Amino acid sequence: MSEFKPLVFSGVQPTGNLHLGNYLGAIRKFVALQDNNDCMYCVVDLHALTAQLVHEDMRGQIRSITAAFLAAGIDPKRHIVFNQSQVPQHAELAWIFNCVARIGWMNRMTQFKDKAGKDREQASLGLYAYPSLMAADILVYRATHVPVGEDQKQHLELTRDIAMKFNMDFMEKIRPTGLGVDITVGDEPVHAYFPMVEPLIDGPAPRVMSLKDGSKKMSKSDPSDLSRINLMDDSEAISRKIRKAKTDPDALPSEVDGLKCRPEADNLVGIFAALADKTKAEVLTEFGGQQFSVFKPALVELAVEVLAPINAEMRRLMDDPGHIDAVLRDGGERARARAEKTMTEIRDIIGFVR
Ligand code: TYM
């Protein structure tokens, strides 16, 4: 074998409402990638336990993310849509990765620092090990490409570090199995079992910001609902939130450079571009010189045009939980078969007796 087989993998946590950041940073890219790739999209329910153990409606949350995947246009027959807990091999590989990753690496994770807050002693061990489970999600399928928002970049760098250390530590055990692939990392030839995953972060909205504060990420946990557009918001709510979004008094610039130091304008132009499948430059060609009083109504119209059908389809799907569960069960079965193949190989490479 000379190369790893391309495979797209990504995950979304079933915690809180999905918002425009999740859609533009992740789900919209999932849909675009499925035409030319083998894809696996996972509702990462084990990850949802890391910040909060007990969830009032875990099942409903899992179904709602699945409904969003399907409503956005992911085809669960051609690809694999499943929830993480149906594939215990993720947790098994995560344990092995806990023994590969170094404490020093984990201590650098900014998301852990943000989520743990001031009282780090009270954070769960799961929250600390979160990125190791994320690496396992991806590498248990030896996936090569991972579409995510920019906030996940550091976790994917850690995934590469874990893969690299495993490859190097076990290189002489991998070689005789014939399961490895010759790759070069930098200038170095490596006989690798795990690929070096490539993050797919590009696009005009890799980091959608709060509508109320252009320096803060749009987030499920922001106490102000006006800061985000939820995928379940109706047209009236979308319109109200965009009309109330923070801006500055100037007209839009004609060049992308003019968005520097104007975080709110930059954010709204990025959102418009991502929703319209355009670049920011193209949006500014159309709206440069215009006031927000002209741009905002155009953005409302576009956002409603894109999001209303997704919203309607999500509601329709949520009325039939049996169908959603059947999709997850089918995806879970197919994912399990793939994951077990990898885990059998990994157990052999490590030298466990079976
Ligand atoms: P989660 O559930 O927090 O977010 C899901 C996806 O949405 C993206 N995202 C954003 N993109 C742009 N702007 C924003 N404001 C914004 N907010 C969220 C996230 O980057 C993500 O792509 N750790 C992951 C879940 C995960 C995963 C994985 C992802 C678990 N295992 C394996 C990829 C591969 C997370 O917390 O996503």
- We report the CATH number of the domain holding residue 306 as 1.10.240.10
214, part of any domain:
no
**Burial class of residue 43 (count of CB atoms within 10 Å of its CB; 0-12, 13-18, 19+):** buried
Claim to verify: residue 51 and residue 74 sit in the same structural domain: yes
Claim to verify: residue 39 and residue 157 sit in the same structural domain: yes
**pLDDT tens digit sequence for 2-58:** 589 999 999 999 998 899 999 999 999 999 999 999 999 999 999 999 999 999 999
Phi, psi of 130 (to 5 degrees): -45, -50
Question: pLDDT at position 209, please?
Answer: 98
CA of 134 to the centre of ligand 1 (A): 11
Claim to verify: residue 280 and residue 189 sit in the same structural domain: no
**pLDDT tens digit sequence for 187-214:** 888 999 999 999 999 999 999 999 999 9
Determine the average pLDDT of the residues in 248-270. Answer: 97
The answer to whether residue 142 scores a pLDDT higher than 90 is yes
Q: Is 207 in the pocket of ligand 1 (CB under 6 A)?
A: yes
Claim to verify: residue 284 and residue 139 sit in the same structural domain: no
CA of 152 to the centre of ligand 1 (A): 6
Residue 162's domain comprises 8-204+321-350
97, part of any domain:
yes
Question: pLDDT at position 289, please?
Answer: 97
Alpha carbon nearest to ligand 1 atom 5, residue:
12
Q: Is 299 in the pocket of ligand 1 (CB under 6 A)?
A: no
Cβ contacts of residue 320 below 8 Å, gap of 6+?
none
226 band by pLDDT with thresholds 50, 70 and 90: very high
**pLDDT tens digit sequence for 295-335:** 999 999 999 999 999 999 999 999 999 999 999 999 999 99
State how far the Cα of 251 lies from the Cα of 290, in Å rounded to an integer: 5
150 band by pLDDT with thresholds 50, 70 and 90: very high
49, part of any domain:
yes
Q: Which two tokens stand for residue 118?
A: 């001031």
Question: pLDDT at position 1, please?
Answer: 42
**pLDDT tens digit sequence for 84-121:** 999 999 999 999 999 999 999 999 999 999 999 999 99
Q: Is 21 in the pocket of ligand 1 (CB under 6 A)?
A: yes
**Farthest-apart Cα atoms in the chain, separation:** 70
State how far the Cα of 310 lies from the Cα of 306, in Å rounded to an integer: 7
Q: Is 22 in the pocket of ligand 1 (CB under 6 A)?
A: yes
68, part of any domain:
yes
Question: pLDDT at position 174, please?
Answer: 96
SS3 label, residue 211 = coil
**Average model confidence (pLDDT) for the chain?**
96
Claim to verify: residue 312 and residue 342 sit in the same structural domain: no
Residue percentage of the chain with pLDDT more than 90: 96
Claim to verify: residue 111 and residue 200 sit in the same structural domain: yes
Claim to verify: residue 13 and residue 116 sit in the same structural domain: yes
Total domains, the chain: 2
CATH number of the domain enclosing 58: 3.40.50.620
Residue percentage of the chain with pLDDT more than 70: 99
Claim to verify: residue 58 and residue 192 sit in the same structural domain: yes
Alpha carbon nearest to ligand 1 atom 34, residue:
10
3, part of any domain:
no
CA of 25 to the centre of ligand 1 (A): 8
CA of 340 to the centre of ligand 1 (A): 25
263 band by pLDDT with thresholds 50, 70 and 90: very high
Q: Is 190 in the pocket of ligand 1 (CB under 6 A)?
A: no
Question: pLDDT at position 245, please?
Answer: 98
Claim to verify: residue 325 and residue 305 sit in the same structural domain: no
**pLDDT tens digit sequence for 12-28:** 999 988 999 999 999 99
CA of 110 to the centre of ligand 1 (A): 14
Place of tokens 């943000």: 114
Alpha carbon nearest to ligand 1 atom 37, residue:
12
246, part of any domain:
yes
- Which residues carry out catalysis? 115, 217, 220
256, part of any domain:
yes
215, part of any domain:
no
Question: pLDDT at position 185, please?
Answer: 86
**pLDDT tens digit sequence for 159-171:** 999 999 999 999 9
Claim to verify: residue 257 and residue 313 sit in the same structural domain: yes
Alpha carbon nearest to ligand 1 atom 33, residue:
10
State how far the Cα of 294 lies from the Cα of 243, in Å rounded to an integer: 11
Claim to verify: residue 40 and residue 163 sit in the same structural domain: yes
Claim to verify: residue 94 and residue 158 sit in the same structural domain: yes
DSSP H or E stretch at residue 166: helix 153-169
